[in-house]
Amino acid sequence: MFGSNKNKSNSVQDETLKDHSKKIVIGVSVLIFSIILILALEVYTISLKGSQAKQIRIGKSAEEKSKTIMTQMAKIGKETKDLEYKYIKSLETIMSPMEFQSFKNSISGLASDNNVFITTINEGKTQKVRDYKMYSINLELLSGYTNYVNFKKDISKTPFRINFEKETIIRETPSSSKIKVNAIISAIIFEKKDKLFKDKKKFIEQMKRAEERKLAREKKLKELKEQKNN
C-alpha cells in the first residue's frame, strides 16, 4: 500500500511538473511575444514619428512656398493695378470724340472774349496714330496781334494736349493794324475713352482714394518732420 501511494505521489508530481513546464513555456512565449510586440511598436512609433516629422517638414516647406507665391502674386497684382491706373490717368489729357466737339465749340466763345473774329472754322482730315486718332481744326482768323496772342493763351489752358500747326500770320493790308491768321489745331483722340472710364469707374474711384490717403500720410509725415526739426 505504501508502495502504491509513493508511485501515486510521483505521478502527481510529474503531472504537476508538466503543468508547470507548460505554464513556463506559455509564459516565456507570452513574454517573448510581448517583447517582440513592444519592439515592433517601438520601431513603428519611431518610423511613424520620422514619417510625421518628414510630413511636417514637407508641409512647412509647402506652406512657406505658398506664402512666397501668394506674396509675389499680391505684388504683381498691385503693380498691375498701379500700371493700369497710371495708364488711365495719362488718358485724362487725351480727348474723347465728345470732348473734342466740346473743345471745338468753345473756340468761338474764347475768340469772342478776346475780340478775335473767326472767318472760317471746320474739321480737317482724321489720321490714325497707333491706337489713337489725330483730329484737327482748320482756322482762319482776323484780329489784332495782342488779341490773337491772348486768344492762344486761353486755348492753351485746356487740360488736354493740343498743338498749333502750320500757323501763318500776315497783315490784313500793308497799312492795317489787324492780322490774318491761318492755323491748324490738332489733338490726339482716344475713341474708346468714354467707355473705358465708364467701365472702370469703381476702380478709378478706389485708386483715387488710395492715392489721396497716400498723399495725406506723406503730408502728415512731412509736417511731423518739420515740427521735429523746429
- Shared domain for 164 and 111, answered yes or no, is yes
Residue 138, C-beta contacts closer than 8 angstroms, at least 6 positions apart: 120, 121, 122, 123, 124, 184
Residue-level pLDDT at 67: 67
C-beta separation of 134 from 184 below 8 A: no
Burial environment of residue 140 by CB neighbours within 10 A (0 to 12, 13 to 18, 19 or more) = middle
* Judgement on whether residues 69 and 42 belong to the same structural domain of the protein: yes
Residue 102 confidence (pLDDT) = 93
Q: What is the 3-state secondary structure (H, E, C) of 72-115?
A: HHHHHHHHHHHHHHHHHHHHHHCECHHHHHHHHHHHHHHHHHCC
Q: Which residues of the chain have pLDDT under 50?
A: 1-21
In a domain, 80, yes or no: yes
pLDDT digits 0-9 by tens, 129-182: 888 999 999 999 999 999 999 999 999 999 999 998 888 999 988 888 899 999
Q: Is the pTM of this model over 0.75?
A: no
- Residue 219 located in a structural domain: no
What are phi and psi for residue 205, nearest 5 degrees?
Answer: -65, -40
Distance in angstroms (rounded) separating the CA atoms of residues 230 and 203 = 41
| Closest by CA position to 138, among listed 102, 106, 167 | 167
**4 occurs within a structural domain:** yes
Whole-angstrom distance, CA of residue 35 vs CA of residue 23: 18
For residue 30, the enclosing domain spans 1-93
